[in-house]
A = this chain, B = another copy of it.
Amino acid sequence: MIKAGIIGATGYAGNELVRLLMGHKEVEIKWYGSRSYIDEKYARVYQNMFEIVDDVCLDDNMEALAEQVDVIFTATPQGFLAGVLTEDMLQKTKIIDLSADFRIKDVATYEKWYKLEHKSPQFIEEAVYGLCEVNREKVRGARLVANPGCYTTCSILTAYPLVAEGLIDPNTLIIDAKSGTSGAGRGAKLPNLFCEVNENMKAYGVTSHRHTPEIEEQLGYAAGREVTVNFTPHLVPMNRGILATEYATLVRRADGSLPSYEEVKAVYDKYYAKEKFVRVLEKDVCPETKWVEGSNYVDIGFKIDGRTGRIVMMGALDNLVKGAAGQAVQNMNLLFGFDEAEGLNLVPLFP
């Protein structure tokens, strides 16, 4: 039984972490950190936890916390962890960071897209990008895991095998992503009010969303060269779920013909057939967010368009599970040598 602390436990991702860890056999939560609700009962902030969690919220003292637990989850705003992280902490505890602070290897890129000065660039190199299906072995030995973003997990996993195997031209990649509103967090902001989101559809962060460089960096590793993509997020009137619709030009065979359905499917299977949490759907089945809600699955489907020579790839996940807390638990399982699926055997909840 290991001990865990959560900083940012009263955000939506924090609450989801609590839900998942409650069902994990090997972990005990010792610290519910929440700057906004110090000394309040956690179950008063999240009434779903009534009679389940008795603890009160504590502050975000990482140093004190590092003394007490085996792993810290930081579900905090950008810049928090980079602002407080020390070598001493990392010698005492493992850290899984759900913010973007250590996801991007190039500091200049981070600072440009996030418009923040990075306060502890010395830890970027060692941080492991915790996309489990891609970096499993590296995660096992890490001290600091940069848990991927919700859009990025979906966007990358959907295209990764085809980029890695050269079936598509990565610079033609256009990612049109749609997200439920929990991705916007629990801050009391006018654009996230019920009446503003409900009965509405909009794009935002067009050409400038911060998940873009994260996607480009990871797909760049797959391609073996720099990759530039279009990524457009949209806000959907639903609580959970991300759907990424991705368009790319297929690389034709020497004779000018397009790869077949079977060839593309074989490439997906090569990467994902043994992956419990990635489900490549049957032919002509499109992923839908409702089929993964509450679970750690990513569902992937695709369709080849012979008319335009493009492929349309689609991926769906639950932004709070595989897109945040679930992947964080998966990373924790890798870090501590637990069964990778422990605490994550979640059957999607429908309807």
CA distance A238 to B351 in the complex (A): 10
Please give the residue numbers on chain A whose beta carbons come within 8 Å of chain B beta carbons, in ascending order: 12, 15, 18-19, 22-23, 46-52, 171, 174, 176, 178, 180-182, 186, 188-190, 192-204, 206-207, 228-230, 232, 234, 236-241, 243, 245, 247, 279, 281, 285-295, 299, 303-305, 307-308, 310, 312, 314, 316, 345, 347-351
Q: Closest CB of chain B to A55's CB: distance in Å?
A: 15
Q: A199-B239, A289-B200 are in contact. Are A19 and B230 (CB under 8 A)?
A: no
Contact of A174 among B194, B247, B279 (CB under 8 A): B247
Q: Closest CB of chain B to A210's CB: distance in Å?
A: 14
Q: Closest CB of chain B to A32's CB: distance in Å?
A: 14
Contact of A240 among B186, B199, B236, B285 (CB under 8 A): B199
Structural contact, A229 and B289, CB atoms closer than 8 A: no
CA distance A47 to B284 in the complex (A): 13
Q: A182-B351, A294-B294 are in contact. Are A230 and B195 (CB under 8 A)?
A: no
Chain B residues, CB < 8 A from A241: 199-201
Q: A286-B203, A307-B228, A351-B12 are in contact. Are A238 and B198 (CB under 8 A)?
A: yes
Structural contact, B236 and A236, CB atoms closer than 8 A: yes
Structural contact, A232 and B245, CB atoms closer than 8 A: yes
Structural contact, A207 and B307, CB atoms closer than 8 A: yes
Chain B residues, CB < 8 A from A289: 199-202
Structural contact, A345 and B23, CB atoms closer than 8 A: yes
A238's nearest neighbour on chain B, judged by CB, is B199
A302's nearest neighbour on chain B, judged by CB, is B206
Chain B residues, CB < 8 A from A237: 194, 198, 236-238
Chain B residues, CB < 8 A from A181: 193-195, 198
A205's nearest neighbour on chain B, judged by CB, is B286
Q: Closest CB of chain B to A227's CB: distance in Å?
A: 11
Chain B residues, CB < 8 A from A190: 186, 188
